[in-house]
Structure 1
Amino acid sequence: MTHFRQLAGSDRFGTIRSNPTPKHGQKHGHRSGDSELAATEAEYDKPKAILMGRGINKLSVRGIEALNTPGWHGDGGGLWLRITEKGSKRWIFKWALDGRRREMGLGSVACISLATARRKAEEARELLAAGHDPLEAKRDQEEAAAAVADETCARSATPTFREYANAYIDSQMGGWRCVKLHKQWRASIENHAKNLLDLPVDAITTDDVLAALQPIWLTISPTAGILRGRIETILDAARAATS
């Protein structure tokens, strides 16, 4: 934890004296340096102790490229560059909350620029200032993103009305006596149910069906009635297949 001691001895807290001269009235065996160190460590346990140092934006792009010394290199405001013994470089955001020291990876230097790392660190400081834990907030964001990805994947796996209508018509062709019937089904759906074609079959509502029927309900009502029956048949078949 060398970097923590270095932080404690930075200009933010003043220089800590290892062997100070006892002050007048000070109890024997109690050194002012110990008091300062204890105060420093207590202050460090607050988020502002690591986030509000005087120094900030200490690193530079050229300096990072030339820097190869293993260890922790501070940019200020809780942002650190960690260089491993093998030479890999990663951005780490460090803070203390409720007496616990915590850290959160922000990505490798190869993928995350210095400017991006500073922006991420600033976002983390804003979360801390609002009373939130940046690491927990990051996990919540990742879980939300995963949920959206799962939902998107599930939607993409659900066939559209067009796809299921074509599959249903193909499956019925062998049992239809009229060879032209499949063409009539396709034509009525493609001409009068265009608003349904690209919708997932499990997302189609009654309002969607009515929107398809309304334009022809008064002008060519027989066709509208036939179309309604065909749409309902396809949707019922889709529900039965997925239930």
Structure 2
Amino acid sequence: MRALHKLSSLKIKNLPPGKYSDGGGLWLHLRKDGGAQWFLRLTIGARRREMGLGSVNDVSLKEAREAAQRYRRWARAGRDPIVERDRLKREAGARRSTLAEVAAEAFDARKAELKDGGKAGRWFSPLELHVLPKLGRLPVSDIDQRSIRDVMQPIWHEKADTARKAMNRLNIVMRHAAALGLEVDLQAVDKAKALLGKSRHEPTHIPAMPWQEVPAFYASLSEGTITHLALRLLILTALRSAPVRFCRLDQISGSIWTVPAEIMKGRRGQVRDFRVPLSREALAVIDASKPFERDGYIFHNARKGVISDATMARHMERRGLESRPHGFRTSFRTWCAEATETPPDIAEMALGHAVGSQVERAYRRTDLLEKRSALMERWASFVVEGGGDVISLGGARRLESDGRG
């Protein structure tokens, strides 16, 4: 066996630049610039390997010998010391990577896919509110089904929708951790769901106004305030509130309103925007809203930005109505089914829903605009004429300073 421990601490201090063997494959490299490093030469099978062990300033002679002995033992067992050392470093890194750190990185990676870059916080908030306060400081590799079950149990039945979103986000975070090379259980979320059992929560639908009552309500929106006008346009177009609230004059050309894809829910990542045919009544509402235009938006808030998502809902609530603005989409769809012979595909496309399979949508080159235009004109006629006299929108008055109408 080759001689070991050829060097000593005192000898090392007096050696000139060069490479010196301590025996057993352990070498010291003294550079001319004054630097000095330990390295180990090993033969694994027929392959010669050389690995650095660190600087003399950081690793003592004794520590270098201990490391060399450990790596020689691994080599004798057929394990590549460099591969094994890198694996241990990754595992140590995984133990240090907390769930909160990986969640923040996963969120950053998805921001480009989220509306407005995720600034609204809706994607991250289920994690931030219900998961990270208790699990955020734990190493992501330590997250298992039991820890997830324990943190989800308080909201699993009481706040089922929030729990579902939190689980969905957590699953994405765990997959992101796996993509980083961290050791995680990709089945932990599904296992936690099995431990929690089926949710007892019964989903409730957003209250919708019966379509027969829509004309009377529409007729009551006669004050010409921003809230009244926004509700009228919401009803006439059967859109969700976001496109209406963020409606800009430069999105409207003639009788076509082109809603950007990023504002339409469920259309994220699609190339095409959504074209909305405007009825004569809808155009009249838009004309009546123009005096309120600020920065291009016709339904601006009295202070800053556009009216909030709750503005229209609060108006209906103050009037003692159970139904809510989003429910007018249901009113419209039910009217299509019960009072017309509108083909389901056209009715669904009028709501901005995806129709048909992914393959069918890929080959479809029309949005049936003309047929939808006729349908929306007929809906507007029902909404206006079904409620009695047509209400003139010519004398619109400005919104009060508190933003309520």
TM-score interval, normalised by the smaller of the two chains: 0.3 to 0.5
Indicate the structure with greater helix content.
1
Task: Give TM-score scaled by structure 2 length.
Answer: 0.30
Task: Give TM-score scaled by structure 1 length.
Answer: 0.47
